[in-house]
Amino acid sequence: MKIIKDKGLKLKLIKYFVSHRWYPHMEAEIFSTEGLSSLNKRKAVTDIDALALIPSNFGEFSLLIGDCKTLKNQSPISRALWLNGLMNLTKAEKGIVLLTKEADNDHKLLASKLDISIFSDRDFDYYQHKTRVNNDDSMSALCDGENWDKYYDIQKRFSALIPAFNFIKNDFWNIEESPFKLRRTLSVIRDVRKELNPTHTSQIALVADLISLFSITFNYLIRKVFNQSLLFDTKENLSNELKLLIWGGSEQYQHFNLLYKAASSKGEEAEIALPEWDMFVQLIRQGLEIPYTTVHVPLIMKEVAFEYIDTTKSKQYNFAVTLAKETPQAAKLAIMITEYICKACKLPSEFEDIINTRIIKIQS
């Protein structure tokens, strides 16, 4: 799947996002999550050209949506009004419309009232220059347009991995921020684990990217726990609290737990929990030690993932090293999250060895 349409504009947004240390994603289809169509027959109602998760000083993400168009048949404000509706749907806080031609100032002023900025291609170059906050010259794998093309084309060679790619590209961005998103991410990884082969570097990229998505949901859970109670006197109390949060409250947990007991051979002794539960609770405890740092883990993992898409270029990228130096605690936490995912999802041990060896190396 080649990202040809408006590719130059989309890549320009991705580069801008990465320069600001924002988590980037290119092209996501939006579905009606309450639709009646089956998963195999559902059709996208619209799409997002590029998006970014922006870390705040308080350890949380805000969503920015980018729209890239040539405007052959639409006015700039029409695109802004459409984007405003999509922002409301996805709870995005900011929007950017990037065009190939100039837009009238009245269109720009009206769009700004909707927290949307309209730029021509040329104006955006000037805007990037004036708003640049990091002056390093790091080379990022995420800023290489060929990597995005090659990454989305991996599923053509490994059809059994299509569900995982659909989740990365589309499904993840259709799920509202919630503990269900964490459970779903784990489920997707476990579902494809038998199809994963660490001898294929492209599949190392896939696993690392899935871990980057898990780390986004991990950040959400850390914030929920941290804001609710700064201190837990025992590991057991933390464990109980986590179960209620992850399954959507006391009533929901009891409901799922009853179903789990009925299906389990252990009967009443069975209790629903995420795989490798003790290890997960310990991971949460580590995250609670540095709650605001968890927001930086996803970008490190995604950059590491894209380094493995084309290994002939991997030596020229040094952005992951820059990120690890800027947020060393996030890099250490990335190692622990990778270890948990590989064990909880029963992935071949080589995935953990390869990915964590790379993360250790970028810290040295």
The pLDDT of residue 205 is above 90? yes
At residue 189, the pLDDT reads 98
CA distance linking residue 162 with residue 110, whole number of Å: 41
CA distance linking residue 87 with residue 38, whole number of Å: 26
The more confident residue out of 72 and 57 is: 57
50 DSSP β-pair partners? 26, 66
The secondary structure of 9-75 as a DSSP string is HHHHHHHHHHHTTPEEEEEEEE--TT-SS-TTT---SEEEEEEEEEEPTTS-EEEEEEEEE--SSS-
Q: How far is CA 13 from CA 7, 98, 209, 222, 304, in A?
A: 10, 8, 20, 29, 20
Lowest mean pLDDT, pick from 29-33, 34-38, 358-362:
34-38
Q: If you average pLDDT over residues 199-222, what whole number do you get?
A: 97
The pLDDT of residue 267 is above 80? no
Lowest mean pLDDT, pick from 47-51, 67-71, 272-276:
67-71
From the CB of residue 4, how many other CB atoms can be counted at a distance below 10 Å? 8
At residue 50, the pLDDT reads 97
**Residue 101 has which token pair?**
């031609």
The pLDDT of residue 269 is above 80? no
For residues 63 and 53, is the Cβ–Cβ distance under 8 A? yes
From the CB of residue 187, how many other CB atoms can be counted at a distance below 10 Å? 12
CA distance linking residue 19 with residue 319, whole number of Å: 10
Longest Cα separation, the chain: 68
At residue 260, the pLDDT reads 85
Helix, strand or coil, per DSSP, at residue 96: strand
Q: Each residue of 132-143: pLDDT tens digit? A: 887 778 999 999
pTM: 0.94
For residues 53 and 216, is the Cβ–Cβ distance under 8 A? yes
At residue 71, the pLDDT reads 66
At residue 296, the pLDDT reads 98
Confidence of residue 40 (pLDDT cuts 50, 70, 90): low
At residue 179, the pLDDT reads 86
Confidence of residue 1 (pLDDT cuts 50, 70, 90): very low
At residue 4, the pLDDT reads 52
CA distance linking residue 225 with residue 245, whole number of Å: 8
Q: If you average pLDDT over residues 263-280, what whole number do you get?
A: 85
Confidence of residue 43 (pLDDT cuts 50, 70, 90): confident
Whole-number average pLDDT of the chain: 92
Confidence of residue 221 (pLDDT cuts 50, 70, 90): very high
Helix, strand or coil, per DSSP, at residue 185: helix
Q: Each residue of 306-352: pLDDT tens digit? A: 999 999 998 999 999 999 999 999 999 999 999 999 999 999 999 99
From the CB of residue 7, how many other CB atoms can be counted at a distance below 10 Å? 17
CA distance linking residue 4 with residue 16, whole number of Å: 19
Q: Each residue of 88-132: pLDDT tens digit? A: 999 999 999 999 989 999 999 999 999 999 999 999 999 998 998
